[in-house]
Amino acid sequence: MRLSTINKLCCPFDKADLELTSITEDTEKRILEGWLHCKECKRIYPIVKGLPIMNPDEYREVDLEKPLLEKWSKHLEGKTVQNFRLIEGN
């Protein structure tokens, strides 16, 4: 996923801007793995193999995203994900 593409995306729920957390990039600086985060509704959208997963909540599966979030735990900086939303740690 190119950085120029990210600038064109917004949260599908409230149309707010998204913040990028990049975990893996290729040699051309395309995002391969990471997530987009909406500051308004706190939803988190994973980027897997360069593709953002921006489905409505009812079509997402926690069990499928859980391994990614566990893998990315050190990048979450003490935050957790509940109901597809990034929550500040206690």
pLDDT > 70? residue 67: yes
Percent of the chain at pLDDT exceeding 90: 56
Burial (CB count <10 Å: 0-12, 13-18, 19+), residue 49: exposed
Mean pLDDT, the chain, rounded, equals 90
Under 8 Å between Cβ of 43 and 34 = no
pTM of the entire predicted model: 0.86
**Per-residue model confidence (pLDDT) at position 3:** 86
Q: Which band of pLDDT confidence, cut at 50, 70 and 90, is reported for residue 46? A: very high
CA-CA-CA-CA torsion sign (26, 49, 65, 14) = positive
Query: Across residues 35-43, what is the average pLDDT?
Result: 94
What is the rounded CA–CA span in Å between residue 60 and residue 25? 24
What is the distance between the alpha carbons of residues 22 and 6, in angstroms, rounded to a whole number? 11
Number of domains composing the chain? 1
Q: Which domain holds residue 57?
A: 3-87
